[in-house]
Each structure stands twice: as C-alpha cells, then as structure tokens.
Copies of this chain bind each other. A is one copy, B any other.
Amino acid sequence: MNEVEVLFEPEGIRVRVPAGTLLSKAAVLAGIAIDMPCGGKGGCGKCRVQIIGHAPDASAEDLKSFGAKDIEQGMRLACQTPVHMPMTVVVPHNSRLTETSQILGSAGGIHDVSEAQDPPIWKRYVRLNAPTLEDDRADIERLLDAIGPCEVRLEMARLLPGKLRKQGFRGTAVLSERYLLDFEEDNTEPECYGVAFDLGTTTLVGVLLDLATGREIASASRMNPQTQYGDDVLSRIQRARDESGGLEELHGIMRDALNAMIAELSEKASIRTERIYEATFAGNTTMQHFLACIPPNALGEIPFAPAFRRSLLFPASKIGMEIHPRGCVVVFPVIGGFVGGDTVAGILVTGIAEAAKPTLFVDIGTNGELVVKHGDILLSASTAAGPAFEGANIKHGMRAMSGAIEQIVLDGDVHYKVIGGAKPVGLCGSALIDITAELLRKGILSYHGLLLSGDELPADLPPRLLDRVIMGEDGPEFVVALESESGTGAPVTVTHRDFRSLQLGTGAIRTGIAILLKQAGLTPAELDRVYVAGAFGNYIRPHNAQRMGLLPFNVELPRVSFVGNTSLAGARRVATSRTARQRAEELAFLAKHVELSRDPNFQMEYMEAMFFPMEEPV
C-alpha cells in the first residue's frame, strides 16, 4: 500500500498514512486533537489547518470556509483534505480540541468563530516628531493629533511625558472607545488581547482572545470557589448580607479564582498579562453583583431588585483584576434579578430576538434561564435548576472534561464514551441525561424518580444490567463503569439521590418552559426552533432530553439545536465588538422579565413537573 508522510507543526510530529487518508485522521494518529464539533462533515469550519508548500485543491467546503487569500496560503479544513503526497501541516491553536473546549462547546446552531469587526480596544504604532520651538504642542495634544481624539485620564497623563521621551516619541498607543490605555515601547500592535468569562454559579469558564481577529487563543475553567458557601445563589447572598465582610470575601475568592485563570490563560498562550486590556463578564445577576462587589442583598428578598440593569464599564484596578493596570472590565447588562447577563448573551448569540418564527431558548445551568420569542413578544424567566447538569451535587458528577463519560447507551449492557478517550472517572451533564432516559426506558428508574431494586425491577431485565443495580451506602445505585474499567479504581455510579437532584432540576425547567410558552400564547408544537445552551458537553441526544422531560414533547427533534455555552459565546462577542456591546444593551431592555411564581398556573405546573414523563415522547 502506498504510504505518505505528514509532518505536523509546531510539534514536529511525523506520521505515515495510506495515501488518501484524511488529514483529520492523520492528526488523530499523530496524537493531535483537532476540534470537529460537526463530526467531520465539513460543516462547522473549526478544523482549520495550514498546509505549507503545495496544497491539494480546495474542496467545496474549503471554498465556503475560507477566503481566496486563505486558500492561496494553504488554509484547508482537515476533515475534507485527503493526503496524497508528503506534506507539512500547521495546526493552529484555535483549531485544537482542549479540555475546556468541550465545556465551551458549540455543537452547531450558532456561528462561533467571530471575526472582530470593531474591537473595543485597538492599537496604533506611531512615530511623532519631538517638540521644537516651532512645534511646542503639549505631549497629549501631540499624540492625539496622530491617533485621533480620545480621553487621556490622569494616570496616563502622569506617565505619558516620561514614556514619550524614553521611547524617542515612538510607540504603540493602546486605545479604547473611551480613553487612552497606554503608550507602549516599540510596535506591539500584534499583541492586543482580551479575556471573556462566563461567571456561572458553579463553574467559571474563560477564554483568551486576540482582539484584532476575534480568535480564541486559550481557554480555562474551574469551579466557582463560592460553592464552598453554598450551591445556590441565595445562601451566598445571605452570607454577603449577614456576615461582616461577607460581600468582600465572596467577591475576593471569585476575583482570586479569575486572576488565577487569567494567569493560566496567559501562560498557556505564552503572553504577558499586561497585554490583556479588557475583561468581559457574562453571568447571572447575582454573580455579576459579586464580581463588581455591589451588595446583592436585595436579590435575596422579594421583589429581587438588582442594583443595576445597564452594563458596567470600569477600570480593572477597581476590582483588582490582574490584567493591564489601566485595563477595563465590562459587565453584561441584566434583564432582572434572576435573568442576568448570561441570558442577554444567549439572546445575542442565538439571534432569538430577531427570529421571525416562534423560538425558545433554554440555558440549563444552576439557574435555568428561558427566553421565548413570538411575534413582538420577547419573554424571559429564570428557574432554580440546581447544579446537577454541571455535574455538581452528583456523586460521580464532573464537568465535561477529559475522563468524563459523555454518552451512554443501554441495550443488553452499558456502552459509554469518554472525553479524551481516557479511563472514565465521572459523568458530565450529557451522560446524566442519557442515563436518566435510558434507565427510564429500561424500567430501572420509575417515573417518580425512584431507582428500583430487587423485586421492583422488570422481570425481563438483561442480566448484565441487573448486576449493575447495587446497594450503596445510601440506597440503590446504578453502575455505569465497572471498577475494572474506571480511572479511579472505584465504579462510576449514579445514585438515587442523583436522580432526585436531576428530577428537581428537570422539573423546574419544565415548569418554566410550560408557563413561558403559555404566556406567549404558544404550544410546543408551534416552536420553529429550540436552542438549548449549557455546559453539558457536546453530545446531548435531544430525544433523551425529551424523555426525561427537560425539553417539551411535540417538538420535532431537527428543530432542536444544542448551542453550548452561550454565556461565554456572548461574552466573547461583546469582548471583540462594540456593535455587539451596544446590541446587548438594547436586548436587556427589549426582553420582558416574567416572574414565574406569580403565574396562576405555577403551582399546578410545578406539581406535574415533579415527576419524569411516564412515557416516550410521541
């Protein structure tokens, strides 16, 4: 068989593959994980690589994904490019699958590769004339004559005279819409970075962005350290309100975690944190208050009034954010006390506000946020889903990262898929949905949410499944991964308590969807599109989500899109586009906030939703 050699850069790894092998396959053999959320169909445009030297002809998908200049420079989609002759391929960082790109994951439905059109921070290298008696303009005036009008704040005014003279009146002006951030030595135009964060109640996710191109350079995620003071926002609000120094403490531990993530992102990308000029945050209303260290007390009491609705823009130094010393922080606008910037971000990236046909947006996090668009109506609401779908408060739950089981199928036995191909160590959100739906189908889990055992189990249960129903310390458990398969040395199980958490979370979201659709005058069948956001991992199966009641029945499955972490995607977009920031501001005022518990149907809907659906969706 005719073999050809492929050299992957920058690693310098060589592999030999049969002629005609796709580059994406060759990369797998080289141990290089290329991101292909569409599964290698050429549809998502994520698996961009650059072929150095002679490149094969561009495919139709290549021509859709790239401009002429890119094509000419050898840019191709790895999943569409067969290898027929030896080649050198550069895999950009942005095309790689990282641990957290699964949490960030956008499995189609939205366009994720945002090209910055109008970044809020930009740079300009200038050479000025030194002052002379003929030209004795003031230092600031001299610089602004070259770069255009902008505010120069006191801190910068103090630094500028020294910088100009030290740098021989040459350097790179760092500009924002509002003011001059710096005048850096030499030409630093290519180094203009921002960070964007999703501030979740349970999870913090952040990305490092090249502001000039909008491209993601690195990503990071970690547990929100505030969880040590409670899984839900209310217990944290109470602590901030009732404990002396409580607000500062809750603010401080989150700030420290974010700073650690910024340091991690900078290290991953080998950049200096002083080259990060902007940090953009989308999160629920309470998290945004904690970030800015604004007392969230009123969010803990009826009528849950937030302190602010419009976006906040302030110097990063005011909250000790360790980016450029004169960098700025952008905090998303909010819709209401429990419908925050994360929802605004979701509306922004899904384009639901512009949808011509009835559309539903569901963001499943510790708080579930819901948005319905119907004609002129744009309604939003939130519901306390708990952290189960993020893998928290679940015995073997974990975030969607390497080692997490992300897919489960039951037939005569258990089949699962692990992120990163590693040994399983836990279950992420998508696996929890799968296992709930599958155990309901198999009759191992009752629609009341009870994990059955012994005589309660169906008589015809395959023996391999039967063996997996065991008695744990605290009641029955179902073994997903056996001790022998597990990466931890102990079986990976789901417990009856886990199902209780999932049931409560599912019920809350289901109630919210039902009420919001009613208020908009819609039935599920009338929905043209359903966008489901959340940090599940990339491979949720919609029919399983329907089976457990998370999504309404009567919605055709092709109309459902899983759009990943839209809070982060929105933060990214706002971080790189002034237009997007303006639009987010408008959207926060367009969306009407519905207080679900005030709906007369709330009690009844909620009671009904406390059980899983009895049957498969029709």
**Which A residues form the contact surface with B (CB < 8 A)?**
131-133, 135-142, 152-155, 157-158, 160-162, 165, 292-295, 297-298, 302-310, 312, 314, 318, 334, 336-337, 593, 595, 598
Q: Are B136 and A308 in contact (CB under 8 A)?
A: no
Add 14 more A-B contacts to A133-B302, A139-B298, A158-B293 (CB < 8 A): A133-B595, A136-B305, A136-B337, A136-B593, A138-B306, A138-B307, A139-B308, A141-B308, A154-B294, A154-B318, A157-B312, A158-B295, A160-B307, A161-B295
Residues of chain B with a CB closer than 8 A to A294's CB: 154, 157-158, 161
Q: Are A336 and B152 in contact (CB under 8 A)?
A: no
- Please give me the residue from chain B that is nearest to A155 by CB atom: B318
Q: Are B314 and A138 in contact (CB under 8 A)?
A: no
A588 CB to closest chain B CB, in angstroms? 10
Residue of A136, A138, A309 most packed against chain B (CB within 10 A): A138
A406 CB to closest chain B CB, in angstroms? 39
Q: Are B305 and A131 in contact (CB under 8 A)?
A: yes
* CB within 8 Å for A292 and B154 given contacts A133-B303, A138-B334, A139-B305: yes
A343 CB to closest chain B CB, in angstroms? 15
Q: Which of B298, B310, B314 contacts A131 (CB 8 A)?
A: B298
Q: Are A292 and B157 in contact (CB under 8 A)?
A: yes
Residues of chain B with a CB closer than 8 A to A158's CB: 292-295
Residues of chain B with a CB closer than 8 A to A598's CB: 133
A153 to B178, CA, bound (A): 14
List 13 A-B residue pairs with CB atoms under 8 Å apart, sorted by A's residue number: A131-B303, A131-B305, A132-B303, A133-B595, A136-B593, A138-B307, A138-B334, A140-B307, A141-B309, A155-B318, A157-B312, A158-B292, A162-B297
A138 CB to closest chain B CB, in angstroms? 4
The 3 A-B residue pairs whose C-beta atoms are closest, nearest first, are A138-B309, A131-B305, A154-B314
A297 to B139, CA, bound (A): 12
**Chain multiplicity (copies):** 2
Residues of chain B with a CB closer than 8 A to A309's CB: 137-138, 140-141
A513 CB to closest chain B CB, in angstroms? 21
Residues of chain B with a CB closer than 8 A to A165's CB: 298
- Please give me the residue from chain B that is nearest to A319 by CB atom: B154
Q: Are A303 and B161 in contact (CB under 8 A)?
A: no
Residues of chain B with a CB closer than 8 A to A334's CB: 138
Residues of chain B with a CB closer than 8 A to A139's CB: 298, 305-308
* CB within 8 Å for A138 and B308 given contacts A131-B298, A314-B154: yes
A301 CB to closest chain B CB, in angstroms? 10
Q: Are B305 and A138 in contact (CB under 8 A)?
A: yes
Residues of chain B with a CB closer than 8 A to A298's CB: 131, 139, 161, 165
Residues of chain B with a CB closer than 8 A to A307's CB: 138-140, 157, 160-161
A349 to B563, CA, bound (A): 64
Residues of chain B with a CB closer than 8 A to A297's CB: 161-162
A304 CB to closest chain B CB, in angstroms? 6
A158 to B247, CA, bound (A): 11
- Please give me the residue from chain B that is nearest to A337 by CB atom: B136
- Please give me the residue from chain B that is nearest to A162 by CB atom: B295
Q: Are A140 and B310 in contact (CB under 8 A)?
A: yes
Residues of chain B with a CB closer than 8 A to A306's CB: 138-139
A308 to B136, CA, bound (A): 11
A142 CB to closest chain B CB, in angstroms? 8
A131 to B303, CA, bound (A): 7
A541 to B306, CA, bound (A): 66
A312 to B135, CA, bound (A): 22
A331 CB to closest chain B CB, in angstroms? 9
A308 CB to closest chain B CB, in angstroms? 5
A162 to B241, CA, bound (A): 11
A534 CB to closest chain B CB, in angstroms? 26
A490 CB to closest chain B CB, in angstroms? 47
A154 to B140, CA, bound (A): 27
A295 to B166, CA, bound (A): 13
Q: Which of B136, B293, B302 contacts A303 (CB 8 A)?
A: B136
A300 CB to closest chain B CB, in angstroms? 11
Residue of A157, A160, A310, A593 most packed against chain B (CB within 10 A): A157
* CB within 8 Å for A314 and B153 given contacts A161-B295, A303-B132, A598-B133: yes
Residues of chain B with a CB closer than 8 A to A161's CB: 294-295, 297-298, 307
A139 to B308, CA, bound (A): 6
Residues of chain B with a CB closer than 8 A to A304's CB: 136
Residue of A142, A158, A307, A337 most packed against chain B (CB within 10 A): A307
A554 to B87, CA, bound (A): 92
Residues of chain B with a CB closer than 8 A to A337's CB: 136
- Please give me the residue from chain B that is nearest to A138 by CB atom: B309
A309 to B131, CA, bound (A): 14
A139 to B299, CA, bound (A): 11
Q: Are B308 and A157 in contact (CB under 8 A)?
A: yes
Q: Are B292 and A137 in contact (CB under 8 A)?
A: no
A312 to B153, CA, bound (A): 8
Residues of chain B with a CB closer than 8 A to A336's CB: 136
Residue of A136, A140, A152 most packed against chain B (CB within 10 A): A136
A297 to B155, CA, bound (A): 16
A155 to B307, CA, bound (A): 12
Residues of chain B with a CB closer than 8 A to A314's CB: 153-154
A337 to B310, CA, bound (A): 42
A287 CB to closest chain B CB, in angstroms? 15
Residues of chain B with a CB closer than 8 A to A292's CB: 154, 157-158
A405 to B593, CA, bound (A): 75
Residues of chain B with a CB closer than 8 A to A154's CB: 292, 294, 312, 314, 318
